[in-house]
């Protein structure tokens, strides 16, 4: 029997906004000036929130924090493409996506302070709490998307994860399950070039991460993740397909301009020249140039927005500090079990008595 080709595939890549802010008018999505400004504003809010959070962590007010600096377009523009009833399933770096969905800066800071209040979200937000185990949330998104398919809902769920997660079994299983069950799920992979300190080229020999969709029988597309317009359009089209039972993997090429978390020092594993090169592709600067070109942004409006964000941030920090001051750490023993087991009661008693090591 001769050897024949039984399957072939290709992966498309999408860019609409060049690094200098010029736009491909044939591909430019039709968005109102209000929506475009909201995307820009949320990107700026997310950037300042990261800066302040890192400063608070260095002062000992926050626990470990994972900045999303440099990935604002991938998160904000994709979340902006969601309908009100769609669901967001984040990892631990999706502050920008959560802000887009209506989460407050105060809640995000409270979560980073280790406060349960920070993980609360309203039913209207339709966002799950951050998932810490890498890749696990992709399966949660498939569960939601499968339920939407069974119920015949005209809604979808989007799972956020990084390039490192595509090397986990959970993500492979999620992609396969989504395809098998027709889940209303979009997988938004932010390829920020590093899985903590492991560069992308050492994680896989696959030419793209988008092509990992092929083995699951679903579509994958690569998009310039620092191009807010391209991310918006690719996600919008992916969501349309997902709502019809055709899940899609979107690989957003971007760059983590800051550390993996506040316990990491990227200077140990990457060169300054590389960082400078990606600085030139900054998603906020690119989008700002586009908005200025369209007359939507002026110096005055940029300054007003900066002041507005600083005021919001100050209120958020004050609110989170107030919640922290009122919190009782012993509350953590109250919510793990419906009926507290004896061994946990002993730990709680030891904690209350000042013996942090327990039994």
Four-point Cα dihedral 24, 27, 30, 32, nearest 10:
-30
Q: What share of the chain is helix, strand, coil (3-state, %, to 5)?
A: 50, 10, 40
Q: Which residue among 93, 101, 243, 256 is the active-site one?
A: 256
Burial of 169 (0-12, 13-18, 19+ CB in 10 A): exposed
The answer to whether 260 is a known catalytic residue is yes
Q: Which residue among 151, 267, 269, 346 is the active-site one?
A: 269
Q: Which residue among 44, 101, 257, 260 is the active-site one?
A: 260
The answer to whether 337 is a known catalytic residue is no
Answer for the pair 88, 50: CB distance below 8 angstroms, yes or no.
no
Sign of the dihedral defined by the CA atoms of residues 235, 238, 239, 240, in that order: positive
The answer to whether 140 is a known catalytic residue is no
Answer for the pair 21, 232: CB distance below 8 angstroms, yes or no.
no
Q: If we measure between CA atoms, which residue out of 7, 27, 15, 73 comes closest to residue 211?
A: 7
DSSP 252-266: EE----S-SSTT--G
Buried b (16+ CB within 10 A) or exposed e, 235-250: bbbbbebbbebbbbbb
**What residues are annotated to the active site?**
256, 260, 269
């Amino acid at each position: 029997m001769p050897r024949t080709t039984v399957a072939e595939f290709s992966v498309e890549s999408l860019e609409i906004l060049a690094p200098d802010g010029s736009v491909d008018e044939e591909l430019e999505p039709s968005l109102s000036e209000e929506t475009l400004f909201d995307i820009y504003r949320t990107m700026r809010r997310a950037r300042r929130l990261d800066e302040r959070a890192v400063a608070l962590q260095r002062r000992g007010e926050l626990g470990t924090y994972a900045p999303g600096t440099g990935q604002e377009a991938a998160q904000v523009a994709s979340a902006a493409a969601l309908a009100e009833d769609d669901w967001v399933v984040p990892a631990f770096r999706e502050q920008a996506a959560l802000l887009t969905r209506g989460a407050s800066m105060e809640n995000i800071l409270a979560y980073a302070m280790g406060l349960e209040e920070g993980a609360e979200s309203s039913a209207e937000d339709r966002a799950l709490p951050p998932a810490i185990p890498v890749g696990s949330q992709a399966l949660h998104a498939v569960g939601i998307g499968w339920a939407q398919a069974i119920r015949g809902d005209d809604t979808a769920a989007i799972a956020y994860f990084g390039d490192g997660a595509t090397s986990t079994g959970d993500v492979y299983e999620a992609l396969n399950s989504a395809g098998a069950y027709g889940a209303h799920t979009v997988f938004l992979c932010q390829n920020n070039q590093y899985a903590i300190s492991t560069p992308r080229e050492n994680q896989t020999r696959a030419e793209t991460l988008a092509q990992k969709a092929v083995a699951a029988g679903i579509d994958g597309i690569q998009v310039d993740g620092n191009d807010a317009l391209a991310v918006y359009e690719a996600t919008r089209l992916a969501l349309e397909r997902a709502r019809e039972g055709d899940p899609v993997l979107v690989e957003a090429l971007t760059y983590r301009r800051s550390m993996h978390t506040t316990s990491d020092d990227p200077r140990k594993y990457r060169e300054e020249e590389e960082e400078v090169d990606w600085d030139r592709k900054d998603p906020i600067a690119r989008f700002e140039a586009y908005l200025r070109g369209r007359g939507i942004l002026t110096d005055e409006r940029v300054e007003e927005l900066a002041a507005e964000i600083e005021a919001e941030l100050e209120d958020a920090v004050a609110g989170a500090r107030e919640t922290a001051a009122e919190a009782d750490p012993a509350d953590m023993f109250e919510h793990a079990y419906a009926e507290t087991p004896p061994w946990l009661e002993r730990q709680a008693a030891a904690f209350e008595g000042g013996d942090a090591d327990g039994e």
